[in-house]
Structure 1
Amino acid sequence: MTVLILTCEEDVTADMVVVHLHASGVPVVRLDPADLTTGVSLSGEYVHGRFRGHLSAGGRLVSIGGLRSVWVRRPGVPAGRAAQPSPWLTEEAAQALYGMLRGSDARWMNHPDAARQARHKPWQLRLAQRCGLPVPATVITTFPRAAREFAERFPDLVVKPVSGAHPQDPPRAVPTSRVAPDTDFTAVAFGPTLLQRRIAKRADIRLTVVGERLLAARKAADTGAEPVEVDVRFAPPGAPWEPVDVPPRIAESVRTYLREAGLAYGAFDFAEDADGTWWFLECNQSGQFGFVEVETEQPIARTVAEWLARPVPEETVEADRTPTTAC
């Protein structure tokens, strides 16, 4: 049975996993939904209570019923590179591709519905609270007065985007920034603004979770960094990432988070304070891990490959062979 990877062509993270899948002899088909109607084709037939579907990419033909897993890594907009792209064609292509894949018995990393929900940062913060993870005091508001009152209660703040990357082409990451003490919050009225109590961190934590496997890395904060440098993604190289054990309570809460979110994979970011507390910042359902693996030698890519390569339970295969009856 085959592993299907949905991602763009230039995805080094996916490349790392494909190497391990090839080494273990697991068939892999990799395609970008953006190539639908050009380099990628699909077909699905619903006859006599049965479904037969196929995908073609790069000269490879794969049966949808023969998929063991689907890794939704960094797929492009369906039919985005078609000869005559349009919102209508994108919707048609998305409905066809993901609708057919949803009808398979393949395991998802991560299911599109779960991934779409998991991208919402306000939802993440509330789920993290419910799961027992420490969350810094946060407000998301379009009320200038609410922002000012929050700043009075928590004078040391950072501001960050609610949605993540700015939707330009290519996407541009928007850094987390400190809020000046004399900030005028009038502009908050023009768009939702996320303000959060700054954690005086002694380290950044990246916790990559694959199924039940937790792989954490720690990067000590640069004590000589400028006060405005609070986003590790934009800071100078500094200290290397190093493997670190996960506190038992954090491990339990993180597993609960993924279970409640319906995710098989998650890249968690924490800020570790002077007391050793790990403060939850966010969970990226398709976050990068290559930079951590390179520095720590943690087997993240191999762990992802092993999860994707797990065989489909025999009862699922047998059920697929048995004709279904109408409901």
Structure 2
Amino acid sequence: MTVLILTSEQDVTADMAVVELNANGIPVLRLDPAELPGGVGLSGEFAHGAFHGHLSVGGRVVSMGGLRSIWVRRPGVPAAHAEAASPWLTEEASHSLYGMLRCTEARWMNHPDSARQARHKPWQLWLARACGLPVPATLITTFPRAAREFAERYPDLIVKPVSGKHPDDAGLAVPTTRVRPGEDYRDVANGPTLLQRRVRRAADIRLTCVGDQLFAARAASSRDAEDARHGDEAAVDDVRFDPAAGPWRPIPVPRRVADAVRAYLTRAQLAYGAFDFAEDADGVWWFLECNQSGQFGFIEIETGQPIGRAVAQWLAGAPFGPISAAGGDDERALGAECG
């Protein structure tokens, strides 16, 4: 049985899981839907009440009926690299590939339907609060008056994109930024704007969830100290753009957070999620977002947490052998919870 990984060619995060799968003798087929048609081919026949499909890449042909799991990691847009690329061809390729894969018995990380819903930031905030996670007061609006009234209630605000685009995604990357004092908010009429009460954070938390396993990492924040030096000017308030953040260190997951996060994943029907929290001075973890296909490579490299191994085990559907002792106590303690 083969593990299918849908991702771009240059994906170090996926590489970490592939290494583990190869080391444990699990067949892997890795392809980018952007190469369909061309470098990737497919064929499927529905006859006599059954569906028989095949995928080919690099001269290798795999039966879709022989797939044990499908990891939708960071796939390209179907047919994007085709010689005669067009919106119509993208639709044809997408419907063909994902339509056929839905006919298999393979399990998904994560299923396209669940992944699509999980990207919606308003729904994320609602679900996080429903599962018991603290969520900062948030407004998404195109009404300048609503924005001004929200700012009166919460004078210290940040603004960030509703779509949650990350720097390594295609298109414009907009970092989370503090709102300048005295902002008139007229520009929110030009498009939905997400304003959120700023958490004065002591640290950033990345909680990576793979099935039932939780891997938490903490990076001490330097932003409040920087704000004090630079006054009230608007500044980036985003760990991805903070060169002074870190280093990332593994930490245990509080029981309350662990229970809430697992409830979130269950209700969202996700097998994988990368949660971002802001930890305040009182030690409260404030939910910011859950990226259903978030990177974990940088966390694994800095902390030694075996996240790639956990992903590989989930995709394989079976535990591997013991972790090498070279990882030390940090690796064996990963995913630990405290009451």
Same-fold call, TM > 0.5? yes
Contact 2:278 2:287 in 1 (8 A): yes
**Structure 1 segments unaligned to the other structure (5+ residues):** 312-327
Match of 1:253 among 251, 260, 264: 260
Give yes or no for the alignment of 1:83 onto 2:90.
no
2: CA distance, partners of 1:273 / 1:140: 23
Alpha-carbon distance between aligned partners in 1 of 2:267 and 2:163, rounded to the nearest angstrom: 21
Task: Give 1:38-117 correspondences, 5 Å limit.
Answer: 38-117=38-117
- Which residue of 1 is the match for residue 331 of structure 2? none
- For 1:248 and 1:284, locate their aligned partners in 2 and report how far apart those are by CA, in whole Å: 21
The one-letter amino acid of 2:286's match is: W
1:181-232 Cα distance to aligned partner (Å, 9 max, x none): 1001111111100000000000000000000000000001115434624210
Matched, 1:291 2:292: no
1:305 to 299, 312, 320: 312
**TM-score, length basis structure 1:** 0.93
- Work out the CA distance in 1 between the residues paired with 2:242 and 2:95: 41
User: Which residue in the other structure is 1:231 paired with?
Assistant: 238
Contact 2:239–2:245 (Cα < 8 Å) also in 1? no
Query: Contact between 2:279 and 2:286, CA under 8 Å: does it hold in 1?
Result: yes
Amino acid at match of 2:301: V
- Deviation for aligned residue 1:32: 0.3
Contact 2:33–2:77 (8 Å) recurs in 1: yes
What per-residue deviation string (whole Å, max 9, x for no partner) do you get for residues 100-150 of structure 1?
A: 000100010000000001001011000111111000000000111100000
Q: CA deviation at 1:169?
A: 8.3
The DSSP-based 3-state class of the residue aligned with 1:225 is helix
Q: Which residue of 1 aligns with 2:17?
A: 17
In structure 2, the CA distance between the partners of 1:298 and 1:168, relative to structure 1 (3 Å rule), is: closer
Query: Structure 1 CA distance, aligned partners of 2:308 and 2:60?
Result: 24
Confirm or deny: 8 A CA contact 2:205 2:279 kept in the other structure: yes
User: What one-letter code is carried by the residue in structure 2 that aligns with 1:286?
Assistant: S
Give the 5 Å matches for 1:256-295: 256-295=263-302
| 2:163 alignment partner in structure 1 | 163
Whether the aligned pair in 1 keeps the contact of 2:46 and 2:52 (CA below 8 Å) is yes
Asked if structure 1 preserves the Cα contact closer than 8 Å seen for 2:167 and 2:173, the reply is no
**Matched residue, 1:7:** 7
Give the % identical residues.
Answer: 70
User: What residue identity is the alignment partner of 1:305?
Assistant: A
- Bigger mean CA offset, 165-174 vs 75-84: 165-174
State whether structure 2 residue 208 is matched by structure 1 residue 201: no
1:146 maps to what in 2? 146
Q: How does 1:306-325 map to 2 (within 5 A)?
A: 306-310=313-317
Task: Give the letter aligned to residue 62 of structure 1.
Answer: V
Give, in angstroms, the shift of residue 167 of structure 1. 10
* CA displacement at 1:47 relative to structure 2: 0.9
Asked if 1:36 is matched to 2:36, the reply is yes
Q: What CA deviation, in whole Å up to 9, does each residue of 1:283-316 have, x standing for no partner? A: 00000001100110000000000000116xxxxx
Letter of the 1:234 counterpart = F
Give the AA of the match of 1:4.
Answer: L
Matches of 2:37 and 2:245, distance apart in 1: 46
* Number of residue equivalences: 311
CA distance in 1, matches of 2:207, 2:135: 16
- What is the CA-CA distance between 1:170 and the residue it aligns to? 3.8
C-alpha change, 1:195 and 1:209, in structure 2 (3 Å) is same
- Looking at structure 2, the residues matched to 47 and 178 of structure 1 have their Cα atoms a distance apart, in angstroms, of 59
RMSD between aligned residues: 1.5
Q: Cα 1:156–1:167, aligned 2, differ >3 Å: closer, same or farther? A: closer
